[in-house]
Amino acid sequence: MPPRLTYSLLLFITLFVLKEVRPLYKAKAYKELAVTGMIMMLALAYGIDYIMGSQLLPNPNFLITLFKPLSQSFEKLLQVTG
Protein backbone atom coordinates (compact mmCIF):
# COMPACT_ATOMS: atom_id res chain seq x y z
CA MET A 1 0.00 0.00 0.00
CA PRO A 2 2.66 2.62 0.84
CA PRO A 3 4.11 2.80 -2.76
CA ARG A 4 0.74 4.23 -3.78
CA LEU A 5 1.66 7.23 -1.69
CA THR A 6 4.59 7.76 -4.05
CA TYR A 7 2.15 8.44 -6.90
CA SER A 8 0.14 10.82 -4.72
CA LEU A 9 3.28 12.73 -3.74
CA LEU A 10 4.45 12.85 -7.34
CA LEU A 11 1.07 14.25 -8.33
CA PHE A 12 1.29 16.97 -5.68
CA ILE A 13 4.86 17.84 -6.65
CA THR A 14 4.01 18.02 -10.37
CA LEU A 15 1.03 20.27 -9.72
CA PHE A 16 3.10 22.40 -7.37
CA VAL A 17 5.90 22.85 -9.91
CA LEU A 18 3.50 23.68 -12.73
CA LYS A 19 1.17 25.91 -10.74
CA GLU A 20 3.49 27.67 -8.28
CA VAL A 21 7.21 27.16 -8.80
CA ARG A 22 7.42 28.45 -12.37
CA PRO A 23 5.35 31.63 -11.83
CA LEU A 24 7.12 32.36 -8.53
CA TYR A 25 10.54 31.92 -10.12
CA LYS A 26 9.60 34.18 -13.01
CA ALA A 27 8.29 36.80 -10.56
CA LYS A 28 11.52 36.48 -8.55
CA ALA A 29 9.48 35.82 -5.39
CA TYR A 30 12.30 33.89 -3.75
CA LYS A 31 10.90 34.10 -0.22
CA GLU A 32 7.60 32.50 -1.28
CA LEU A 33 9.56 29.92 -3.22
CA ALA A 34 11.72 29.08 -0.20
CA VAL A 35 8.79 28.79 2.24
CA THR A 36 6.61 26.69 -0.05
CA GLY A 37 9.59 24.56 -1.04
CA MET A 38 10.38 23.97 2.62
CA ILE A 39 6.79 22.85 3.37
CA MET A 40 6.84 20.57 0.33
CA MET A 41 10.18 19.09 1.41
CA LEU A 42 8.72 18.42 4.86
CA ALA A 43 5.78 16.54 3.31
CA LEU A 44 8.17 14.67 1.04
CA ALA A 45 10.50 13.71 3.90
CA TYR A 46 7.66 12.35 6.03
CA GLY A 47 6.13 10.70 2.97
CA ILE A 48 9.37 8.85 2.17
CA ASP A 49 9.71 7.91 5.84
CA TYR A 50 6.18 6.48 5.75
CA ILE A 51 6.78 4.62 2.48
CA MET A 52 10.05 3.10 3.71
CA GLY A 53 8.54 2.36 7.13
CA SER A 54 11.82 3.42 8.69
CA GLN A 55 10.38 5.89 11.23
CA LEU A 56 13.59 7.90 11.30
CA LEU A 57 11.79 11.19 11.68
CA PRO A 58 10.15 12.21 14.97
CA ASN A 59 6.44 11.42 15.03
CA PRO A 60 4.41 14.64 15.52
CA ASN A 61 2.14 12.62 17.81
CA PHE A 62 4.84 13.22 20.41
CA LEU A 63 3.51 16.77 20.75
CA ILE A 64 0.03 15.40 21.41
CA THR A 65 1.00 12.63 23.85
CA LEU A 66 2.62 15.30 26.02
CA PHE A 67 -0.91 15.98 27.22
CA LYS A 68 -1.56 12.40 28.31
CA PRO A 69 -1.13 13.06 32.07
CA LEU A 70 -3.42 16.07 31.87
CA SER A 71 -6.03 14.09 29.96
CA GLN A 72 -5.85 11.22 32.45
CA SER A 73 -6.25 13.49 35.46
CA PHE A 74 -9.21 15.19 33.77
CA GLU A 75 -10.87 11.83 33.13
CA LYS A 76 -10.17 10.75 36.69
CA LEU A 77 -11.60 13.94 38.13
CA LEU A 78 -14.82 13.79 36.11
CA GLN A 79 -14.98 9.97 36.04
CA VAL A 80 -15.18 9.83 32.26
CA THR A 81 -15.74 6.33 30.93
CA GLY A 82 -15.38 5.03 27.40
Residues forming the site for another protein (CB under 8 A): 1-2, 4-5, 8-9, 11-13, 15-16, 19-20, 24, 29, 31-32, 35-37, 39-40, 42-44, 46-47, 49-50, 59-61, 63-65, 67-68, 70-71, 74-75, 77-82
Q: CA-CA distance, 37 to 13, in Å (whole number)?
A: 10
In terms of CB distance, is 4 or 26 closer to another protein?
4
| CB contact set of 25 (below 8 Å; sequence gap of 6+) | 33
Task: Report, in Å, the least distance between residue 29 CB and another protein.
Answer: 7
Note whether 33 and 24 are within 8 A (CB): yes
Going by C-alpha positions, the residue among 2, 30, 36 that lies closest to residue 17 is: 36
In terms of CB distance, is 26 or 79 closer to another protein?
79
